[in-house]
Structure 1
């Protein structure tokens, strides 16, 4: 009996030893294969996952990162960016969205996160051709103008006592943009204000802030697929566009708005120009998030830099006084003449825009800068490093609108994505589709705030310039400032 027990124990030990040996050999073989694959002609790079915005100076303009089993290639020079977004644009036109991005876009059914193909081309064509056309944006100008006038009036009324009330500039700008977008989408912001129902703007602000943080923060489910289900709890962050609050209902009798155009496309029997309900919802997410958080962040950073450099603030206001006049309000037709303010905004985008463009994914094996890029590799375009490259920019860490003020330079550095040294809105076929609206809204709101008011910090406070990383480079601490009316005619504030 003792012999049988010893034999059983011996057999069990042999089996365990054999299994461990097989697993060790398999792991070693896999590791060797991965090492050979990684070191064949792949770019240099660390084994782990440090902050890639700081690695360009260590490994050069192109390097690799392993995120779990996912290979990422980071590109940090204009010439290599050109290879990605122009020379091989179709090869690198697919997306590699994070799980939070997929959830927010209803499974990648929007313009931002969907892969390149017929459906994406249709969505972008409809969005740019119908919603972002000059005719469509011109038709909505009265809505934008009214919302800006409402904000100017409210700020003025807060100063009637002669004691300026501190204003959170980020909250001010996002409430403005939310109301503008609501009006352009479904024409309800004014109705909600008249009814005293202003909670939708605050709710959107909260949801959008969380959504942007989520989509810009690495998630364990992006590396380990078994965690995918956890992220779906964030779906309620964008539920507001699914019809809560009656959005999109009772549209008869109003001027045609964006949502009505989308609903008409949804009902279109022509498959070449029709969209599904899921695509409609995803497009609404693109419009709401892209049309509010990006512009809000830029307004806050622009105001912060202007308060940090009073000389620049003075020059902006002098230009506004000359172009607009102290007896008039800002109109959109003034904007093309505001050259110095345009330079200020461009410099703000250079220093405080996106740290990197939305990642792309290689649809087939290719090469960048002589290095192999295997199929399904994630491509990250490091705008943060390019916008701070001392070989491109004089005093790259210093805020200076004069970098863009010369006429020749201004035309060279625009938002078209044709100059790969300056990419605040991306480049190639996957560049931002909402540039036209973003540029109009951003310049109009900034010009109106700066023309109508002087701005100063509350007594005893200091200007904070620290940053917070995400899809956007946000301010770590909100900008709180006191506006003081500067126009002589009080009727201009009504």
Structure 2
């Protein structure tokens, strides 16, 4: 998995992510021009499904309204589809130079390499593909959805993010992943979203040996669930833990209104990659989510482009004063109600993409 999702591979497939974000921006632009509301729960799921599908197998899911969700639920169909695509890739690999086109190419190369320590079977490859779909699609979509909902409810934070993007990116091109290192406030927004709304609120683990944690005896082979949702809201470690404050992750001690607020020393330096146990949105240790870098890039680039190009009005008619933030009940932290908004064009994404 490390080779599948390392920095080199992600860079090779950068154009896939850029194309899919542009495709989403075009769709949103059409809705904005028509004055129509958008179900962002559906649109963001389609985006992440297509990103994962193209990175894996060089094929889009499709633009059908419900297929993005249906594809994830129909395991039998996925098995048939992946078998066909694997055969196509095997034929293509015999005719080409071995250039990496997608993640399946890497998996087939590993499977054909007799010197590798771990052998990949056909079923292993199918399982990896299915796992990446199930683990990598709704989580990134949900995080982007929660982040935009928080920004709509916190217009000062939204304005600050838009200003930052304007200063770094300008108004003549669409935000790119290469801009992300220069957008610390956008990064802080995503961190704050992951703190309040971790896509996986409970992380399952299993103890390998008998141990005692905080006075509790835990026998070997015990199933344990780490409550990531509670960690991010613990008042022992976070000031105003229930408030959306991206500034807590910025070294500046001024909030969006120019007022001072107290910040715990670790907050501005806190990392989300499992190094600080106050916040573990991707887990930690050897079993940390291997798609952490991909998820952060997709969420930040998608959210950045959405607020660069559009203002957002909540509700089907755009007249709701704020977005409902009720949480749903599922293994992933979904919203209880879809995020439906009316996009209003600020910068034309079609012109920016030329």
**Partner secondary structure for residue 456 of structure 1:** strand
| Structure 1 residue aligned with 2:88 | 250
Partner of 1:483: 343
CA distance in 2, matches of 1:255, 1:374: 45
Match of 1:241 among 67, 78, 88: 78
**Counterpart position of 1:184:** 55
**2:36 aligned residue (161, 165, 175):** 165
Report the Cα offset of residue 354 of structure 1. Answer: 4.4
Q: CA deviation at 1:240?
A: 4.0
User: What's the secondary structure of 1:350's corresponding residue?
Assistant: helix
Q: Any residues of structure 2 matched to 1:341-380 within 5 Å, and which?
A: 341-354=186-199, 356-380=201-225
Change in Cα spacing, 1:296 to 1:354, as seen in structure 2 (3 Å) is: closer
How far residue 424 of structure 1 moved from its aligned partner, in angstroms, is: 0.9
Partner Cα separation in structure 2 for residue 463 and residue 493 of structure 1: 30
Structure 2 counterpart SS, 1:248: helix
Runs of 4+ more than 4 Å apart: 407-411
Corresponding residue pairs, total? 331
Is the Cα–Cα contact under 8 Å of residues 26 and 349 in structure 2 kept in the other structure?
no
Provide the alpha-carbon RMSD of the alignment: 2.3
Residues 248 and 260 in structure 1, CA contact (< 8 A), matched pair in contact too: no
- Which residue, out of 408, 429, 452, partners 2:286? 429
Whole-Å separation in 2 of the counterparts to 1:356 and 1:157: 35
Q: CA contact under 8 A between 1:188 and 1:247: conserved in structure 2?
A: no
1:334 to 175, 179, 182: 179
How far apart, in 2, do the equivalents of 1:489 and 1:438 lie? Answer: 23
Question: What SS does the corresponding residue of 2:165 show, helix, strand or coil?
Answer: helix
Query: What are the residue-to-residue correspondences of 1:386-425 with 2, within 5 Å?
Result: 386-406=231-251, 409=266, 412-425=269-282
TM-score, normalised on structure 2? 0.86
Change (3 A) 1:281 1:490: closer
Q: Describe the SS at the equivalent of 2:224.
A: strand
Contact 1:170 1:299 (C-alpha < 8 Å) held by counterparts: no
* Cα distance change on mapping 1:300 and 1:379 into 2, 3 Å: same
More helix by share: 1
Equivalent residues of 1:330, 1:451 under 8 A apart = yes
The answer to whether the 8 A contact 2:309-2:349 is kept is no
Q: What is the SS of the residue equivalent to 1:159? A: helix
2:67 is matched with 203
Distance 1:413 1:460, change over 3 A: same
User: Displacement, 1:308?
Assistant: 0.7
Give runs of aligned pairs for residues 77-156 of structure 1, distance below 5 A. Answer: 127-128=1-2, 130-156=3-29
Consecutive unaligned residues of structure 1, counting only runs of 5 or more, are 1-126, 212-236
Confirm or deny: 8 A CA contact 2:31 2:38 kept in the other structure: no
Q: Alpha-carbon deviation of 1:357?
A: 3.7
Q: Secondary structure at the match of 1:243?
A: helix
Distance 1:239 1:264, change over 3 A: farther
Aligned to 1:259: 104
**Unaligned runs of at least 5 residues, structure 2:** 253-264
2:206–2:224 Cα contact (<8 Å) kept: yes
Whole-angstrom CA distance in 2 between matches of 1:448 and 1:142:
15
Cα 1:146/1:466, change in 2 over 3 Å: same
Change (3 A) 1:333 1:493: closer
Q: Equivalent residue for 1:276?
A: 121
CA displacement 1:450-488 (0-9 Å, x = unmatched): 111111123444521100132222100011011122126
Q: Distance in 2 between matches of 1:489 and 1:402?
A: 28
Seen in structure 2, the aligned counterparts of structure 1 residues 476 and 325 have a Cα distance that, compared at 3 Å, is same
What secondary structure sits across from 1:247 in the alignment?
helix
Asked if 2 retains the 8 angstrom alpha-carbon contact of 1:355 and 1:382, the reply is no
Encode CA deviations 1:142-161: one digit per residue, 9 max, x unaligned.
1111111111112223333x
Q: Distance in 2 between matches of 1:460 and 1:444?
A: 27
**Structure 1 residues 488 and 368: alpha-carbon distance in aligned structure 2, compared to 1, 3 A threshold:** closer
Shift in alpha-carbon separation, 1:158–1:369, aligned structure 2, 3 A: closer
Q: Displacement, 1:267?
A: 2.6
